[in-house]
Amino acid sequence: MPSPLQGLKVIELARILAGPWAGQTLADLGAEVIKVEAAQGDDTRAWGPPFITKGDEETASYFHSCNRGKSSVTIDLRDPDDQDRLRDLIKDADIMIENFKVGGLAKYGFDYDSLKQVYPRLLYCSITGFGQTGPYAHRAGYDYIIQGMSGFMSITGDPDGMPQRAGVAITDIFTGVYATTAILAALRMRDTTGQGQHIDMSLFDSAVSVMANQALNYLSTGTPPVRTGNYHPNLTPYQVFECADGHIIIATGNDAQYRRLCSVLNLDDMAEDPKYLRNSDRIANREDMTERLTERTKTFAKDALLSACEDQGIPAGPINDMAEVFADPQVIARGMKVELDGVPYVRSPFVFSDAELTLNRGAPKLGEDN
């Protein structure tokens, strides 16, 4: 079967994660993605251990995680001959992704205003920390710092502990996903107008955008939400619970599920107690309710309580490490792990009825396609 973006050509002048994530997503969807690197390569090639050996090259696993399916060419933007090589690559490209600092490519003639004069159909996606405008536009963007600035860390972690970052660079990942969405929207618009355009993506914008209900909790009340640990700010019980042999997540989404949980835990009196009858009641009495529920969950083994919850239609799940994730029968059944060129990868999460992903090449060696 064909791939959805088969026939599209992408030039990626991006490094680290957000831009490469967008490029990898487009490659999985069938686009030809040419990664343009400096002679020393993308910084993440050295971000190890762990490292993966491919032929005579040792490259960090980090690089492999976001550069699958691309070719690699090395270009020195200061060299006039290499500038000509890059123009030759761009001349029939549909999309260009870059993450230089604002104005960083203008001195070489590869900024959007310069290229649109020659290639009016080119879609040019810039990914920066803070966007092309505003008082922070000149600043470099770092995922960790953006997590703090966006409010994410203010709502993540134990109430009595330090603010916490996420375990992966979620700001970069979200920006890469949003950039892909914007590129596809601009492609559709080009079908109508015949013209390319400049897409201005910001890590900060993306991070603020995904604050979702927490942002609206503040905007609708004027009260900033705070760290709640493993509690949900708007639902309860919806959190981690201790069992006899570890921890699981129980996530009741309505009053009926709460009552069924009480039945599973042999706490029928709590099911009809006015203090816990509705979600708003349970929020008001969360501490006492959680203490009583936990007293009972601690008497169950994890698997036994998960099985009982599933039987009664109560949302619950385990807390897996990576080994458990990739041994999970659902992950195996969905084919999330793929092997390309002898290297394990995690595929993009798209499944089409009449198309397939292009998964025929791992991450490239530096300059493999010069």
According to the model, what pLDDT value does residue 54 have? 86
Helix (H) or strand (E) holding 322: helix 322-327
- Cα 224 to Cα 132, 203, 228, 340: the distances in Å are 28, 22, 12, 46
The span from the CA of 67 to the CA of 35, in Å, is 8
For residue 193, the model assigns a pLDDT of 98
* Residues 3, 326: Cα–Cα separation, whole Å: 26
- Using one digit for the tens of pLDDT, what is the confidence trace for 316-370? 999 999 999 999 999 999 999 999 999 999 999 999 999 999 999 999 999 999 9
Burial class (CB in 10 A: 0-12, 13-18, 19+), 248: buried
| Residue in 94, 111, 143, 172 annotated catalytic | 172
Residues of the chain where predicted confidence (pLDDT) is lower than 70: none
Is beta strand 57-60 parallel, antiparallel or unpaired with respect to 238-243? unpaired
> Which domains are assigned to the chain?
9-210+336-346 (3.40.50.10540), 238-320 (3.30.1540.10)
d(CA 37, CA 76): 8
What gap in Å lies between CA 254 and CA 236, rounded to an integer? 9
Cα 99 from chain centroid (whole Å): 17
C-alpha Rg value of the chain to the nearest Å: 25
Q: What is the pTM of this model?
A: 0.93
Q: Where does residue 75 fall: left (phi above 0), alpha (psi -120 to 50 degrees), or beta otherwise?
A: beta
Residue 67 has a pLDDT of 98
- Is there a contact between 174 and 210 (Cβ–Cβ < 8 Å)? yes
111 is catalytic: no
